[in-house]
């Protein structure tokens, strides 16, 4: 087994479920810290800021600093800034997306935008969708922070960003560039942030279709943990398998 | 040429463009009335009531009565009432849809709905979409008044009902039953309303992809008029051709 120098760690289903900490998550992160192994918490969540997510983790007993959190909103903002630091961006999204765009020094604009960026927005309305369509039809590049079609909540599965984004893709006929897992955009940005090479980094997650595929798509080794969405039975149906699987992260502690 | 006993007449591009009357439309309708030929104005517009559309037509000099207007909302409400008059319906839409559902005596409900119906709603918000998704996931039949992906406005093409509806189909994986043109649902309901047989009825419209296809799908002869969306050049690309084509409805007056 390789001696991995850095870790990318999914949140929902890997560190916590909703508001509940997963049992062996704190010990796993503690050991990463003790061994001085650089790591990022990697989430498709585009609505929260780094600080809000770090606070949530700390509140559950999972030691984390703001700079260890990397969201699809941050990856999106970094992607745009690298492509065109002077870009005008029309953005639909919540605090996490707006903060990330501001942090990258990007200019927000309702009209003549170079980019239309959509992240989950529970204050979505027709006017925002109309402006997104008009800008995309006028040639703006269309970007989606993540393609998740549903969000698990206590009420059931509510529409996710992939569903909201489909208004604009259906109306304009243009598909968005999706940054979040399983796409490689978020992985490329996270690896830049970590500063460690791909072949020394392990992607850890519970969801085959997002976390594990993201790792595979980015050429990383992957560690699948069965504390979240994908079950052992479901995993058997896939041809391409994760590099490693464990029942809980406790089973990985002696590999660190 | 057949001697048609009834006419189904599209509105936008056939009778008017936006707020402007098309030149020969008033004379065409006048002649239908003079010859006592039953006709319905057939529109995918789900947002306006019968009365509002009749008022708009009369205001342009096109003689029309409320009962001569048939909308995708009315077809949708009639379809549900015929399938289950006691159905509980969760509806997203504007005045035209709500009035049509009420007129058919259907019960509106946010939860445990038998049907989820979506028409264009410029007051759309996340909570409405969330309720639609929850009801569809709980087994409600999913119906869309019409599949138009864009609405032409003076600002440009804004999202149409087909785009709004895609939030729910993308999130739940369930495709809606679409009632409006080119689907046959609206045609079946309109023919019932007219009370004239299919082979004696002519469908008139400017849009190949909605009006003409709707006529063909419902087994009606079709009259295409080049005052609206589809051009003669574009029509040539289609294998299946309308029964008749005219440059303006003036060219059809002597056939009435």
Tens place of pLDDT per residue across chain B (256 aa): 889 999 999 999 999 998 899 999 999 999 999 999 999 999 999 999 999 999 999 999 999 999 999 999 999 999 999 999 999 999 999 999 999 999 999 999 999 999 999 999 999 999 999 999 999 999 999 999 999 999 989 899 999 999 999 999 999 999 999 999 999 999 999 999 999 999 999 999 999 999 999 999 999 999 999 999 999 999 999 999 999 999 999 999 999 9
Task: Mark yes or no for CB contact B126/A123 under 8 Å.
Answer: yes
Binding residues of B for Mg(2+): 10, 12, 206
Q: Determine the Cα–Cα distance for residues A36 and A89; give it in Å rounded to an integer.
A: 38
**CA-based nearest residue in chain A for residue B121:** A126
ipTM higher than the 0.90 cut: yes
**The two three-digit tokens of residue A43, written as one number:** 């989430």
**Residues of A in Cβ contact (< 8 Å) with B163:** 129, 133, 166-168, 170-171
B139 burial type by CB count under 10 A (0-12 exposed, 13-18 middle, 19+ buried): exposed
Q: Residues in chain B whose beta carbon is closer than 8 A to a beta carbon of chain A? A: 121-126, 129-130, 133-134, 137-138, 149-150, 155-160, 162-164, 166-173
With respect to CATH, is domain B6-44+181-255 assigned 3.40.50.1000? yes
Q: What angle do CA A91, A93, A98 make, to 5 degrees?
A: 70
B12 among known catalytic residues: yes
**CA-based nearest residue in chain B for residue A164:** B167
Q: Determine the Cα–Cα distance for residues B166 and B97; give it in Å rounded to an integer.
A: 18
Minimal CA separation from A216 to chain B, in Å = 25
Beta bridge partners of B57: none
CA–CA distances in Å: residue B139 to residues B112, B114, B115: 9, 7, 9
**Residues of A in Cβ contact (< 8 Å) with B154:** none
Q: Is A10 known to sit in a ligand binding site?
A: yes
A6-44+181-255 and A84-178 have identical folds: yes
Asked if B110 contacts A114 with a C-beta cutoff of 8 angstroms, the reply is no
- CATH number for B84-178: choose from 3.40.50.2300, 3.30.450.40, 3.40.50.1000, 3.40.1710.10: 3.40.50.1000
Domain regions of chain A by residue span: 6-44+181-255, 84-178
Cis ω for the linkage preceding B168 (within 30 of 0):
no
B221 among known catalytic residues: no
Task: Mark yes or no for CB contact A133/B168 under 8 Å.
Answer: no
Task: Kindly give the residue spans of alpha helices, DSSP state H, lying in chain B.
Answer: 25-34, 50-59, 72-83, 95-103, 126-137, 161-172, 184-194, 213-217, 232-236
């Amino acid at each position: 087994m390789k001696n991995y120098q850095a870790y990318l760690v999914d949140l929902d289903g890997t560190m916590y479920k909703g508001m509940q900490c997963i049992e062996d998550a704190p010990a796993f992160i503690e050991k990463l810290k003790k061994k001085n192994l650089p790591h990022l918490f990697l989430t498709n969540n585009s609505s929260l800021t780094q600080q809000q997510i770090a606070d949530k983790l700390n509140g559950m007993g999972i030691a984390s600093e703001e700079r260890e959190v990397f969201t699809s909103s941050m990856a999106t903002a970094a992607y745009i800034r690298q492509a065109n630091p002077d870009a005008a961006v029309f953005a639909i999204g919540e605090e996490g997306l707006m903060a990330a765009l501001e942090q990258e020094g990007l200019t927000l604009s309702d009209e003549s935008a170079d980019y239309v960026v959509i992240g989950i927005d529970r204050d979505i309305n027709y006017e925002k969708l109309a402006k997104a369509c008009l800008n995309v039809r006028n040639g703006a590049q269309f970007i989606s922070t993540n393609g998740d079609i549903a969000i698990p909540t206590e009420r059931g599965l509510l529409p996710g960003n992939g569903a909201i984004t489909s208004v604009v893709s259906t109306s304009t006929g243009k598909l968005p560039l999706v940054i979040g897992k399983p796409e490689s955009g978020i992985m490329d940005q996270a690896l830049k942030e970590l500063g460690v090479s791909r072949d020394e980094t392990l992607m850890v997650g519970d969801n085959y279709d997002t976390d594990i595929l993201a790792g595979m798509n980015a050429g990383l080794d992957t560690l699948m943990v069965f504390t979240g969405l994908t079950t052992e039975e479901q995993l058997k149906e896939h041809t391409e398998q994760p590099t490693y699987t464990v029942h809980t992260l406790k089973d990985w502690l002696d590999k660190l």
